[in-house]
């Protein structure tokens, strides 16, 4: 996480607690491509100053979901939807960002896909995970669809 510190926006890193025990997290970062496309593949002292200036002036209007999770014991209680919704309201009302990409959710995790849809999101792209078996004598088994209790 130390390598992302220069571009991290602490207003977009959320943790949920129950009786002082962490139960959920939502970590978002500004879309780094919006910064780095102007640095021409360099990252010297001048580019670092440019990055700080772009960050301070609110140049980047795209937000990317980096990590999200809820402790299994607290799943299916709405904590996930609440955190995403409240973070979205804060971002929209303050005008910090205008676009939000919630990140990758595997097709074997339909609950996350349903959360995205229930909050008005749409699938902007389809990501595919490939698996290569180095030991060809082993049989390939697709990742089972996650089941929630």
Q: Give 9-71 as a DSSP string.
A: -GGGEEEEEETTEEEEEEEEEE-HHHHHTTTTT--SHHHHHHHHHHHHTT---EEEEEEEEE-
Predicted pLDDT at 149: 55
Within a domain: residue 142?
no
pLDDT in tens, 71-105: 988 888 888 888 888 887 877 777 778 777 776 66
In percent, the amount of the chain with pLDDT more than 70 equals 84
The CATH number of the domain holding residue 81 is 3.40.630.30
The percentage of residues in the chain with a pLDDT greater than 90, rounded to a whole number, is 7
Whether 18 is in a domain gets the answer: yes
Return d(Cα 37, Cα 50) in angstroms, integer.
Answer: 12
Residues 34/61, Cβ–Cβ less than 8 Å: yes
pLDDT (average), residues 55-66 = 79
25-52 pLDDT, tens digit per residue, is 988 888 877 777 888 877 788 888 887 8
**Residue 15's pLDDT band (boundaries 50, 70, 90)?**
very high
CA distance 86 to 88: 5
In a domain, 6, yes or no: yes
User: Is residue 135 included in any domain, yes or no?
Assistant: no
2-6, 73-77, 140-144: least confident range: 2-6
How many domains, the chain?
1
pLDDT band at 53 (very low <50, low <70, confident <90, very high): confident
Mean pLDDT of 4-15: 79
pLDDT at 4: 65
Within a domain: residue 71? Answer: yes
What is the domain range of residue 13? 2-118
């Amino acid at each position: 996480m130390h390598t992302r510190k220069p571009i991290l926006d602490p207003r977009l890193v959320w943790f949920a607690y129950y009786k002082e025990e962490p139960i959920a997290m939502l970590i978002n970062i500004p879309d780094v491509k919006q910064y780095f496309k102007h640095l021409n593949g360099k990252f010297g002292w001048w580019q670092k100053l440019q990055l700080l200036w772009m960050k301070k002036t609110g140049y980047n209007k795209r937000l990317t979901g980096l990590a999200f999770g809820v402790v299994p014991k607290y799943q299916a209680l709405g904590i996930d939807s609440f955190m995403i919704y409240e973070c979205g309201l804060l971002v929209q009302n303050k005008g910090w960002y205008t676009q939000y990409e919630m990140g990758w959710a595997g097709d074997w995790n339909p609950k996350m896909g349903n959360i995205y849809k229930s909050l008005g999101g749409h699938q902007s792209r389809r990501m595919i995970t490939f698996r290569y078996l180095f030991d060809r004598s082993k049989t390939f088994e697709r990742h089972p669809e996650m089941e929630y209790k």
